Structure 1
């Protein structure tokens, strides 16, 4: 995998972990306005997950890299994203498997898992590169009044 520098999120956490992975998957965008993307086609997605926190777990990890890979790569690699009906929808544009929605859904998956961990890490962003020239970053809205 090419080494890449990703846009960073300013934060005051002590630890920041980044996990890169590649996911080969197909999808289609179920709307006429998607043009050629309405047809089933595939990508090799390059994903970067950024997790941060102040405490390590009993193993000395912020979060185990293998868990992040299992949550995303093992679920989506070599699949048709539209077939994941528990995640994506052909009826609601907020759930079409566009790059933006894929990034948000991946963040939701990671963050849901992180919230179960006693050391309370959080996912700061998900970077999804769909093609060599196109990518999307999802960052959740943060309450600026809270002290990290």
Structure 2
């Protein structure tokens, strides 16, 4: 993976963890205005997630790096994203597997897991590169976190 500098998120937390990983997946955008993207095609998605918190767990981690990758890579690698009907929809435009929605979905999956941890870390940014020249950043708003 190439060295990448990502946009940073300002936050008041003591610790910030960033994890890079990638996965290969196909998708299509089920709308006539999507042009060529309405046809099945694939990408190697490059992901960076930023997790923050003030408390470490009993192992001295905010969260184990490998746990982050497992949550996403194991689920989506070498799949057709549209087949993940628990996350994406061919009917609801707010759940089409666009890069924006895939980034939001990655955040939702990771944050749902973080919410189960006693030290309560937060995912504050998902950077998702779809092609060498195109990427999306998803940043949740304060109200998106459970307290």
TM-score, length of structure 1 as denominator length: 0.95
- Structure 2 regions of 5+ residues with no counterpart? none
Matched, 1:43 2:43: yes
Distance 1:84 1:64 in 2: 26
Return structure 1 stretches of 4+ with deviation > 3 angstroms. none
Q: By how many angstroms is 1:142 displaced? A: 2.1
The residue number in structure 2 matching 1:76 is 76
Q: What is the alpha-carbon distance in structure 1 between the residues aligned to residue 116 and residue 141 of structure 2?
A: 20
Q: What is the alpha-carbon distance in structure 1 between the residues aligned to residue 61 and residue 93 of structure 2?
A: 37
**C-alpha distance in 1, partners of 2:29/2:44?**
17
Secondary structure, aligned partner of 1:72: helix
SS of equivalent to 1:37: helix
How far, CA to CA, are the matches of 2:32 and 2:66 in structure 1?
39
C-alpha separation in 1, matches of 2:2 and 2:66: 20
Alignment of structure 1 residues 1-148 onto 2, 5 Å: 1-142=1-142
Secondary structure of 2:13's match?
A: coil
CA-CA distance at 1:41 after TM superposition: 0.2
Segments of structure 1 that go 5 or more residues without pairing to the other structure are 144-148
SS at match of 1:103: helix
Rounded to whole Å, the distance in 1 between the matches of 2:142 and 2:9 is 11
Superimposed CA distance per residue, residues 89-136 of structure 1 (whole angstroms, 9 cap, x where no aligned partner): 000010000000000000000000001000010000100000000000
